[in-house]
Structures are given as C-alpha cells and as structure tokens.
Structure 1
Amino acid sequence: MQLRNRIRVLIVDDCAATRITLRAILNNNQYEVIGELNDGKKLDSAIAKLHPQIICLDHLLPDKDGLTLLSEIRAAYPHISVVMITGSDDIAVRHNAAMLGAAGFICKPFSQKQVIEVLQADAHTEDMLMIAAKQVNPFADQPYHARAVIADDSLTMRRLLTNILAHMGVEVIGEAYDGKQAVELVSEHRPDIACLDFEMPVMNGLEALKIIHHQNAATKVIMITALASRELFTQATNAGAKGYIIKPFHPDRVTQSVSRILASYNQI
C-alpha cells in the first residue's frame, strides 16, 4: 500500500499536561500535531486555517461543552474525524458522544498504546474506504438487494462497514451506537442481517444478539470483534450468531463473510 502523508491532528484540551503528552505521542512519522487549543472559542477559525484531519477533543472545556462542539464539528465538517478525550467513567458521556458521531475515545489516564490504537483505527478506515472505492463490484450484475442494520459505537467502523455493504448491494437501513438501539432498530425494520459489535455501551453485542434471536429469528446476526476469542465465538454461536467479522475490517474479508450469510436468501 502506498504510504500516506502524515495525518494532521488538532488537540483541544484545557489541560496543558494532556496537550503536551498527546503532542509527544503523536508527533511521529504517521501523525503531525498542527495546533493546540485550551478551549473551544477559536476552534472554528483554527479548523479553517489548519485543515486538520483528526481533532482530539476534550469533553469538558471551560467555555463550551465538548459534546456541543462535537455536534457542531460533525455538522460543519463531516469529513473531519473527532476523537473524544475523557476522564469520566460515566457511560452516558461515551453514549452521547457516539450518538453525535465520535470516531473514537481516548480515556484518561491514557497510554501511548491506547492513543495510537484509537487513531490508527480511524486511519485504517480511511485507507479501506479508498480500497473499497477502487474495487470492482463483484455483485454488479446480481446484487443481493438485502437490508441490514449495523451496530458499533465507533462512527468510523459504521462508516466503513456501510460502505462495504453498499458496494455489495446491501442497503443499510439503520445504524446503532449501542446494543439497546440495535435491538429497537431490528424490531422496527426486520432486516435480513444485523452486524453487532461485541463491545458497546448500554447493552453489549452478546446481550443484543440474544434478544434479537429470540424476537426476530429471521434476521441473521453477524458479530463484530477485534478479539478472535474461541470463548466469545462459542457464546455467540450458541446464542444464534451466524457469522463473524474481525477488526480491522478489510473489504474482501467482510464481503466473504456476508456473502456466506446472504447465500441462504438465494438472492445472488
């Protein structure tokens, strides 16, 4: 794969120590910290001037709530990924941020490994979207015409999976950021497939799977995980899962997994 330019990162946090630490972690061959702000007052002008690709945004700022800023950024600059920084263990914070379109979360106190993993997931998504866009649709002549609901608390993961499924002719009719919302969307729309991440706030994927399988057995559930754990697979299979997608996503592997599930619909 061709090497990409350094990814431009803007840090917004009122804690100087956090900004210094993040800058030290991120100024490397892959990332470039192009600016720092200690509040949200000049955020819009900074975005216009610096053109960041990723904004690391604290959820508690002195002048304006970080979630409000997240909402404004997503509305005005949908192409910019926003990674939320939080020291709160309140699950509602992550839930609300996911609902508003956060690409990921950096939880204080954070490690270098955690920060890099969160930002690499976002960068991987962008790379895979470019690959997917260049691929020839293998189902162009005989698309599946199936419908899907996807559930993942990461906007970047939902975005990539939606793109891959659309390329297959699968219509994503609903996106959920937690297991409870996924159950509600499946109950409402009764899709052919539901893709559920194992780790989600409010209700995890395994709990959502059990409810969906009981209430809507016709919906084929595909579980999403970054951990290829035999124990998790066994639990999910026993609860009714029909397939698995392993993170990080690659278009070819996702297509193969979903194809096996959809073959039973005889729509290819």
Structure 2
Amino acid sequence: MRSQIVPVRVGRAPGIRRADLLWGQHPGDTVDSPHIIWVVRDERGDVTVLDTGSPDAEWVTRHHRPFERTAEEEPAAALAAAGVDPAAVRTVVLSHLHYDHCGNNHLFPNAEFVVQRSEVAYAVAPYPVHQAAYEAPALGFTPRWLATMDRTRLIEGDVTLRPGLRLLHIPGHTPGMTAMVVDTAAGRYALAGDHCAQFENWRGAGPYRVVPSRTHVNLADYYRSFDRLAEHADVVLPGHDMRVFDQASYPAADRG
C-alpha cells in the first residue's frame, strides 16, 4: 500500500551548531532546527504518526535550550492544519525517547504507541551525558512518555506495521533509534529521525560519504545503521532540517 508523507512543524530551536549535527563539519555555522511530527497517510486516508514533538516552548527553553513556537506551530493547531484529528490516530511510533520526540503523547488519546524495548530500558537510566536529552529520573524529571506506557507496544528490532509501512531498527544515535520506511508512489522513503538530522548526514559532507552526529551511544552501530538505511530506502528524509519543508508532502502532491 502506498502512502504520502507530510512533515508538520511544531517549533524550532534556533542557532544549533552544525558541527554538532554533522560531526565537526561546518565549524562556526549555525542552523535553525525544526521539531517535526511526521504524518503518514495511506490510500484509505488512515494516518500513522511518527514522533510527537517537544513539550511547550517555555519548558524546553528553561530545561534544555532556546526554543520558539508560533501559535500555528502549536501541535494541536499544526496537526489540524494538516487535516489530522489526533483522536482518530490509532498508531504513533516513537523514533526514540529524547524530549523533543515524545513531548505531546497526550494529544493522541486513542493511539497505541510503538517504541523499541531497548530504548525504554536506556531512557530510564542513560549515561550522565545523555540524561538531559531523556529528561531522566536521575535529574528529577518524570518522563512524559511514562504516562502512555499502558498503551505502549514494546518491539525488538524490525517490524512491519502494515503492507508498505515498516519500522527499521537503526541504533547508534540511541540504542532504540527507529526509522519508519514508507512505500510511496515515488519509491521507498525512510524517515530517519535523529540518525540523519540534516540532509548532509546522509548525502555526505567534507571528505565523508556519510556523517554521524556528535550525539550517539555507539559509533560502530551508527555506521552499520547507515548501511541498513541504504539497503531499505531509496530516499532518506532527515529529522531536523528546515529544507524538508521546501516540499509540503512526499512525494509531491501532484504525484500521488
């Protein structure tokens, strides 16, 4: 079954160092990093969601880094503008459990959440340098994703959600990092999340064919996961790149 992919912007973190997103490349350059809820709509009109974005801007700015969100980018409003009723969504996949990817699970009251078991295990007790990204209990946080654990399906490895929609385990950035691979009218697209924050992570930069992020738990896994993406996808869409919004949907609306 073929689907269409719509990136929904739910705020942005200004002034992110590109050298952090693309290990050591473009030193001194900064970029605005969008936070995205991905909407995948199949031929019947059924919607599957990947990630739920950051919590409110005041919280993110106070606990993490400067973050901006317009009224139009409020998650409920942005989803409505994309034609999505969150109450009608039955499946939400969490690519991983960093705060900017699971901060609005409450908007989906009837959904089952899907996440790797290894991601949940690490999110509870990550290494100290990763604790803030996970809003870990060791720092006094109560992780927001815990509120929906009674509706969460823990998976291990690759999973087919339905024909034409698969989950690919691509560890490296985090232990349970998961890409969503979507069959479309223009080929097979992978929503790579933070494994590829920018297009250049996948396309290469400087002397490198592919470029990992500086944020990772296992560099060997990271490189193996690049190979897995190459095996399973024709097109890779990054998780924090403003250029994904140069197109309103993937493939383009006039291509089905």
Asked whether the two chains share a fold, i.e. TM above 0.5, the reply is: no
- Which of these two proteins has the greater Rg computed from alpha carbons? 1
More strand by share: 2
TM-score norm. by structure 1 comes to 0.30
Q: Which has the higher contact order (CA 8 A, sep 6+)?
A: 2
Q: TM-score by structure 2 length? A: 0.31
